Amino acid sequence: MKKLIQHVALYQDHRVLEGQNIAIDGSRITGFPEAPKDSEYDEVIDGKGMLALPGFVNTHNHVAMTVFRSYADDMQLMDWLEKKIWPAEAKLTDDVIYAQSMLGIAEMIRCGTTAYADMYDHMDQEARAVEESGIRACLCRGSIGIGPNAQAGLDENRQLFLDWHGKADGRITVMMGPHAPYTCPPDYLHKFVDQARELGAEIHIHLSETKGEVENIKQQYGKSPIALMDEIGVLDCGCLAAHCVWVDDDDMDIMAEKHVRVAHNPGSNLKLASGVAPVPKMLAKGITVGLGTDGASSNNNLDIVEEMRLATLIHKAHTLDPLVIPAETALNMLTEGGAKCLGYTDVGKLETGYKADITLVDREGLHWYPKNDTLSLMAYSANSMDVDTVLVNGEVLLRHKEFTKLDIEKIKAEAERTRKKLFAQI
Amino acid sequence: MKKLIQHVALYQDHRVLEGQNIAIDGSRITGFPEAPKDSEYDEVIDGKGMLALPGFVNTHNHVAMTVFRSYADDMQLMDWLEKKIWPAEAKLTDDVIYAQSMLGIAEMIRCGTTAYADMYDHMDQEARAVEESGIRACLCRGSIGIGPNAQAGLDENRQLFLDWHGKADGRITVMMGPHAPYTCPPDYLHKFVDQARELGAEIHIHLSETKGEVENIKQQYGKSPIALMDEIGVLDCGCLAAHCVWVDDDDMDIMAEKHVRVAHNPGSNLKLASGVAPVPKMLAKGITVGLGTDGASSNNNLDIVEEMRLATLIHKAHTLDPLVIPAETALNMLTEGGAKCLGYTDVGKLETGYKADITLVDREGLHWYPKNDTLSLMAYSANSMDVDTVLVNGEVLLRHKEFTKLDIEKIKAEAERTRKKLFAQI
């Protein structure tokens, strides 16, 4: 099926070109014709007044945790986990995970997100939701090496890879998901590395999120979490590392050398009082950085445009330098950088041959006036509700802010039904 | 004219009451009837699915600077001012100010803002825009005491008070607006204090915004900007102080004693790399704090909900304490605290006898599901585009996200026309 997006402003090579056309055949971009004939296309999308960007990428999520959105805020981390989250997580079932994944995926699509990375449990159900919804996702089974479910986590992650990697027209890929150094002892991590090597899978892991974690790991192993992961071989598999708030120059040198990709989650890091990751320094060292929302239980939404705004703002004040993370850097983290984080080689740019994962942003809101500079307006003034149209793999999932294939009222009702069911047991 | 908002969730006394009704007569809230009869009201507004909050207050703005939104970003402050902003500001005319004020006011209303404080030039034009738009505003003529326009600034601010204070059905109030200690020498500030005393006006001023400013003032006068202002009498007039990023314990003790109200502008302070104001400490000392966007040239939008979100997030990471600025504190800064900053005694709460400045927020977006806790969802997940209905002084200005009395297409066209006219001269 051939589609044409016409009369659109195109973000390409860090600049905006007005009055362009994007031709799509099946799942891929086939070109940018100057004078296309409508009759040659099965569907023509009017892009007038819109900015076309590569689809936004959310590089770190626990999507079904939408069930815990605003369930318990303004608490100390360990109180929150021990009294609220862990008892509730122990009661999670397949139908909660499926319903809450659908909710979170719909919310992400509404915000212009075309691909996301996720780490959680009952991942078959989430994969089902990805398949049905049309979004692109990079999934892993979040696995903890201490406690009775250690082997099950490893086995389920392996099975997830075998069952789902490359499925849903290639929209689903699977990584291995050991949770973090402080929950996964070295012998357990070695098993994950072995498994990743055997399968040809990459690894998604939380690293150096809090100061306390880094201090504990250094005390226990005599080296930083990054150095420990390097020693164990985690960084040699291709690694997506979430957070990396407390990394020093030596850590970042290792990360650069081993091509670790960083999921930067500014909203979560601020709200949980973890700190501010040294992103400007990472970028200066050539490390790939994308943006993540983290789960809605800690953030509390899945609005990746809000994360992009935070990334433009917080590093300027943290370094007292107004020039760090300029507009084009923020937009790159939101799109191309995020796609690289997830390991994609044909997603993240609006170029011929790339997958047609495209987000059209409406530029007619009051906050888009007057029309001084489109890139700056997108980075510093736009909000996620400006997103008008979303295509993934060439399929239109959102048009004029309405969902084309998801039944949103049913999704909201199911999210509410499964929340009540879960909390009735606690 | 009698209005009824029915079946609404009501934010009152830091909690949410479901299924309430709000009765309005003219400009004021007259009660919360349990079983109202529709026939007794001229207009009935269905509040089902909505949260009613006191109208949001933007405590610091330079609204006509929307003309410079995204005109020049990612620059050093002095480059930005000297090469971009000051040459352009010298060419501002009445029609630019009027058109850009209308744009900024419309944007604020769309984001749920019912009142704002402003400091700028050509203030007659802005007052005209306030009168016509229906918003509430506290205006002053921003005046600089060095240079040829010093006396004119003082005179125009006095005239602004005489012409507009208490006008537009009481929606317009006027303060005196000496720009800042680093642009207004003590003898000039003394003139403002004398004028404020004579008129019974309060003072709106920028204080301790940057580290460099505080260091310079200390070097020049041997005391901090706050202590210097106290000495000159600025703080005895009733003072709205913008920014207060670099204030120490002694400063905050003075501020608490003199009932200085603080306009906290987190987005501007982050973007310009000014720093993070010690807001949790201010609140602990009993200082009133509201939220401000600052001008769109430095922020780059007038989205006060975004500022509220920033205020919930940045202080947690800055103090490494996840308990500071909890949801109800953030909502208080957005509403009641902001109203106190502007000097209002009958605005900022949903209570009988208070002005009917009310913002209804739609709770049906995906990011409002599942329905765990309304206050937390408002503080940590909502966005400004959830605002559905806005009343100021009992008049409906926005209904179902559409403007009732402003011609938005004309406002956008005029903003663009006057921008082009201005920049054609530079």
**Tell me: the pLDDT tens digits for A246-266?**
999 999 999 999 999 999 999
Residue A206 annotated as lining a ligand binding site: yes
8 Å CB contact between B258 and B230: yes
On chain B, the residues whose CB falls within 8 A of the CB of A280 are none
- Could you list the residue range(s) of the whole structural domain that residue A89 is in? 56-341
Are A166 and A131 found together in one domain? yes
B88-133 pLDDT, tens digit per residue, is 999 999 999 999 999 999 999 999 999 999 999 999 999 999 999 9
Task: Select from B274, B370, B379 the Cβ nearest to the Cβ of A419.
Answer: B370
Q: Using an 8 Å CB-CB cutoff, list chain B residues near A63.
A: none
**Per the CB < 8 Å rule, is A107 touching B366?**
yes
* Distance in angstroms (rounded) separating the CA atoms of residues A269 and A275: 6
For an interface test with A, give the residue of B14, B51, B65, B74 to mutate (most A CBs within 10 A): B74
Cβ separation of B326 and A301 shorter than 8 Å? no
Q: Give residue-wise pLDDT tens across range A93-110.
A: 999 999 999 999 999 999
B44 and B82 share one domain: no
Rounded Cα distance, B274 and B348, in Å: 29
* Within a domain: A370: yes
In a domain, B10, yes or no: yes
HEC-encoded secondary structure of A121-152: CCHHHHHHHHHHHCCEEEEEECECCCCCCHHH
Q: Closest by alpha carbon to B204, among B57, B55, B59? A: B59
Beta strands in A211-265 (DSSP E): 239-243, 261-264
Beta strands in B256-332 (DSSP E): 261-264, 289-291
Residue A409 located in a structural domain: no
Chain B residues in contact with A317 by the CB 8 A cut-off are 269-270, 273-276, 314
Percent of chain B beyond pLDDT 90?
Answer: 95
Q: What is the pLDDT of residue A262?
A: 98
CA–CA gap between residue B361 and residue B51 (Å, rounded): 5
- Whether residues A330 and A283 share a domain: the answer is yes
With a cut of 90, say whether residue B82 has pLDDT above it: no
Quickly state the pLDDT bin for A147 (edges 50, 70, 90): confident
> Are B295 and B373 members of one domain?
no
Best B300, B374, B375, B423 residue to mutate vs chain A (most A CBs within 10 Å)? B300
User: B208 to chain A nearest CA, in Å?
Assistant: 15
Q: Tell me if the bond preceding B266 is cis, omega within 30° of 0.
A: no
- Give the CATH number, domain containing residue A383: 2.30.40.10
pLDDT of residue A107: 98
Residues of B comprising the binding site for Zn(2+)?
60, 62, 206, 294
How many domains are there within chain B?
Answer: 2
The pLDDT of residue A81 = 83
Amino acid A269: pLDDT: 97
In a domain, A346, yes or no: no
Q: B115 and B242 share a domain?
A: yes
pLDDT attached to residue A161: 98
CA A252 to chain centre: 21
Q: Is the pLDDT of residue A20 over 90?
A: yes
CA-nearest residue to A373 within chain B is B70
| SS3 category, B22 | strand
Q: Which domain CATH number covers A302?
A: 3.20.20.140
Q: What is the mean pLDDT of residues B344-357?
A: 98
Of B293, B310, B341, the last residue of a domain is B341
Average pLDDT over residues A112-132: 98
Q: Per-residue pLDDT for A416 more than 90?
A: yes
Closest Cα in chain A, distance from residue B202 (Å):
31
What pLDDT score was predicted for residue A353?
A: 98
Q: Which two tokens stand for residue A18?
A: 């007005």
Band of residue A79 on the pLDDT scale cut at 50, 70, 90: confident
For residue B80, pLDDT beyond 90: no
Q: What is the DSSP string of A28-41?
A: EEEE--SS--GGG-
Of the pLDDT bands very low, low, confident and very high (cuts 50, 70, 90), residue A426 is: confident
CB of A310 less than 8 A from some CB of B: yes
**8 Å CB contact of A270 and B317:** yes
Residues B40 and B186 grouped into a single domain: no
Instruction: Please indicate, yes or no, if residue A420 is contained in any of the structural domains.
Output: no
- Among B70, B320, B323, select the one facing A275 at the smallest CB separation: B320
A49 touches chain B (CB under 8 A): no
Question: In chain A, which among 228-267 make CB contacts under 8 A with chain B?
Answer: 267
Binding residue ranges of B for substrate = 89, 141, 179, 209, 294
| The last residue of a domain, from among B287, B313, B341 | B341
B316 vs A107, A270, A302: nearest CB = A270
Q: Cβ of A367 under 8 Å from any chain B Cβ?
A: yes
pLDDT at B77 over 90: no
Whether B320 has its CB under 8 Å from any CB of chain A: the answer is: yes
Cβ pair B68, B296 in contact under 8 A: yes
Residue B426 has pLDDT above 90, yes or no: no
- Rounded Cα–Cα distance for residues B29 and B38 (Å): 16
A80 pLDDT tier (thresholds 50, 70, 90): confident
Q: In terms of domains, do B120 and B243 share one?
A: yes
* Boundary of a domain, candidates A341, A362, A380: A341
Within a domain: A227: yes
**Closest by CA position to A159, among listed A133, A145, A179, A139:** A139
Question: A299 in contact with B at a CB cutoff of 8 Å?
Answer: yes
Q: How far is A193 from chain B (nearest CA, A)?
A: 33
**Neighbouring residues of B386: CB distance < 8 A, sequence distance ≥ 6:** B361, B362, B363, B365, B368
Q: Are residues A124 and A263 in the same domain?
A: yes
Distance from CA of A239 to the nearest CA of B (A): 26
Which of A229, A296, A291 is CA-nearest to residue A258? A229
Assign B222 to helix, strand or coil.
coil
Regarding whether A25 and A68 lie in a shared domain, the answer is no
Radius of gyration of chain B (CA): 21
Residues A75 and A11 in one domain: no
Q: Is residue A41 part of a domain?
A: yes
Contact A234, A201 (CB under 8 A): no
Q: What is the pLDDT of residue A82?
A: 86
Mutate to test the interface with A, among B73, B416, B418, B420 (most CBs of A within 10 A): B73
Asked whether residue B418 is assigned to any structural domain, the reply reads no
Strands B50-54 and B358-362: antiparallel
Q: Do residues A327 and A386 share a domain?
A: no
Looking at the fold, whether A83 and A200 belong to one and the same domain comes out as yes
